[in-house]
Structure 1
Amino acid sequence: MNRDGSGPTIAKWEQLNLAPELLRSLTKFGVGPPNKIQQRALPFLLRGADIIAQAPPTQERIAAYVIPAIHVALVHSTGRPPVSGPIVVMVSTTVDQATQAQRMIRDLGGPIGVRSALGVGAATNDTSAEVRLLTQSMPHILCGTPQKLHALFTAPGGLSGAHVRFLVLDEVDQLIARNLHDFIFNIVKLLPPPRQRPISGGTGSSPAVPGSGPPSSQLSASLDALGAYSQGGRRFSSSPIPPEMPTSNGAIERQTALFSNTVPQDVLNLATAIQLREPVRVLVRRDGSGATPDSGGAARGLRQFYLYLAFTANSSGRSNSNAAEQGLGIIGSGRSAGGGVESAQAREWKLDALCDLLDDVEAAHAIVHVGGLAALDAVVYKLASRGLEAVPLHGDMNPGAKMAAMQRFRNGVGVAGSVLRAPATRVLVVYDVQVKPPEVAHVPLVVNYDLPKAVEEYAHRVTAAVSNGNARPGVVVNFVTATGGDVEMLRSIECFYKIKCPEVPISLRDIV
């Protein structure tokens, strides 16, 4: 048992029902004993259960889904005729994460006959040629980013998803934050349906999960996964390590695993939308060694506040989506079913609040973080209309454009190369780019116009405002609206970093 008495500890790979070839490969490759995320996730994945796993982004987390993926590929390919599509699909938000996963599959699975391929980069006109190349030696496991995999599956004559038995989505919170979930929905439509039958164990109960809560009742509707976790219910018992779920004699069914740094409401909404069946919730907390916004104390290097904007949701009371009618939360809203969305009037008030805030400070530079390209365009236009110099910076820019934007922000150099007369405040409006020293010197004011979707992102955003010991402590202002889950996210940030954000004072002029 674990020290907390929560369930059996898996100390060796041999305790798991892995294919013999895979066990030999793990030994040959020198993989160490299972760590926490592997101990907690693999027993369920090897039974065929759907899971939602929350764990820090590490190589061990990647291995927690790569190892069962190789096992699935071996079980369903050995001694069977070739298929016209992959058996396992892994979707990672970033190229780096997808590349790491495919490299691990190549190292562990390649020597035992498991083929893998990597699909990353932007969709091109040569997608059909890429598909033909893949079909010449169809990979058992296909890894890639959402845009590229979407192109490979949906192109004319694209890959078949009919044989996919295991779908993995990694970095799900970041995937949603970058508005990539529509690619996932379109891919899932081409895959087999989710598991219909209940997971059966030897004792008729589920195995123990360290950190799990009391048992949940048996659920059958597609929305039960969301309901169970909104109520904190999780399955728990003291069964031994279960055997693999037997293969159905009928049609292929899809098993799905979600891995994420955090599990806000948006992640649960997505899990419901793609029909995870009674997903097991796995939680592995980080060890506390991660960076914090101000590890030396809030008073020394950073002063953090919130500005509450008390306007309400869509004043017409009508939903612009059928999702609410179907009982699904809107992906990207941070809210469950029944949550509202900001009206056009509310968005305009929020822009006015940002301008008023910047008018109230005397700072040469400020950084404003937004949650999407639409918000970035709106903020830049609004600030320019109020006479402020706003410099856009986003992840879709090429390296040269990013460098030019940073140069303009630092030095006030216009497009023609002439030095502009510095306005009251020069504002860098940022989406999906990390801005930190030495790229920028100390920035006295950082505004989270839209709160991050993942608590880990908060530290990256506020780094530029942290005092270097000589400058005045930087100020962070977090905009919190009544809609979109902002209150819950701010509370999560405060708990995660052990900080307390008071309400912003009436005037910031004296502290910025």
Structure 2
Amino acid sequence: MSSDQKPTTTEPEASTSLAKSLEERLTIPDAKTAPNPTASTFTPAKFNWADEAETPTEDKKQAPTANNELPPAKIDGPADESSLAMAQQDGSSHFLNGSEATEGLLEPEYDVNVKLADLQDDPNNPLYSIHAFEDLELREELLRGLATMGFRKPSKIQERALPLLLKNPPQNLIGQSQSGTGKTAAFVLNMLSRVNLDSKAPQFLVLAPTRELAKQIAGVAGLMGMFLHDKGLQVVEAVPQTLPPRGQMLEGQIVVGTPGTVMDVIQRKRQLDVRQIKVLTLDEADNMLDLQGMGDQCKRVKAMLPKNIQTVLFSATFPPQVLEFANLFAPNANQLTLEVETLTVKGIKQMYLDCNSEEDKYSALVRFYGLMTIASSIIFVQRRSTAQQIEARMTAEGHKVASLTGALDGQQRDDVFTRFRNGDAKVLITTNVLSRGIDVQTVTMVVNYDIPETADHHPDFETYLHRIGRTGRFGRTGAALSLVSGRRDWEMLSAIGTHFGVQPMRLDSDDWDSVEKAVKDVMKNERNAGAMKSNPMKSAEEEMPEWDVEKPE
């Protein structure tokens, strides 16, 4: 875990007036061969990206195989498992200016493979897969909440995951889920369906790798359960600097936090009573279980919980070494995996710009500023000091930018990201702390100011894919620009392109008119129409100032 990803909770309190107001407003109805980091040219054929999304086809019924595992969907072209291992996570709802709601979702062409731990389960059972949320016999308040948030029908992963998550007695689940598949809603619905509102004791625990993602998940839970707040639902966060004073207990049925902080409030501060915990969920489980320090923390947290809890793990995918650990962490779990037709980079136009020096990189960034503010953009750098320097220079020159790194304290990070999510700051400079899981609907451009590299100075393929995955989300298109300065940058980007079979388009720095046209063509694509509009729920949010401050980022 990088220094910028320190595990770092406020308690959002939804007012009854929000639910009533909304109800009145809305009708509720691994590469096969080692990459060559010194490659100087791209070798694969040019990547063909789609200007328009294909209309998803209706799921075909499939008979179970002998080992109780559904056969994969037939797809045009194989999906590279090593690339799938680095695919993106989905995130926030439209209420939080995110993209998770499934209405009008342009899902990639994929099917969900299910491997059942219990061989007595019947995949032909009507409840094995669902086609409407009503099929699950959810609380009426949850159906209203889903409809209010724009969830009209389950996504494919939700169709298969929810019946397995909600069955009784509860069973463990390991789910691989890419960007745009709605897995946050799936595990949140599991908690909201099982909650005992007569007790304020913690009943559900969600662990996430970063402060921002933990707060985002807590916000989705709070909003999806908006009609349960007046009946006693509480969602609390366990991230640094927002915990109650020592001696005061965390009260709320759903607790969302980072592993280090959760371990601390259970063991050392004794502020979290875990005796009634029913479900433990790990989001970005591959990232957490694969990191020695955070993996140890997750194991220690689980060891403190009741032995008969339901354990739910969601991740982009599970490489073999992580899956082995996951199976120990969540024994006898049902498993869900996605077969995909293309990588998640399909709708992201990848470009690069040659720069003669570091100063030229900065000059190019400034020239791009006007394009970056058409909607919202994220500039990724490798070091905190670089983010601070760029922010200082651009601010001094009159440009409105914000910077978010692990160097900021918790409240500062919250304030910066709230400004960005709400559109008050259109350009955000950040380190890899925001490369995973964060979903902001309006982001249409990502800039790799520094080409991502690992601690041992090799190209960081996973981080590259996660970075550019902050745009082009949920069927939209996006632009990803890499600034290349010097031979080493070029060799790193070349190796990344070779790894993914992608050849970014070279922009001609001597013809800025053509550069501007190329970027605008991406941003103005009709699939981005929703992202270019203002947040449709802003008026509702303005009526609830406490959420403006405390909603998750």
Instruction: State the TM-score, normalizing by the size of structure 2.
Output: 0.44
Structure with larger RCO (C-alpha < 8 A, sep 6+): 2
Larger radius of gyration between Structure 1 and Structure 2 = 1
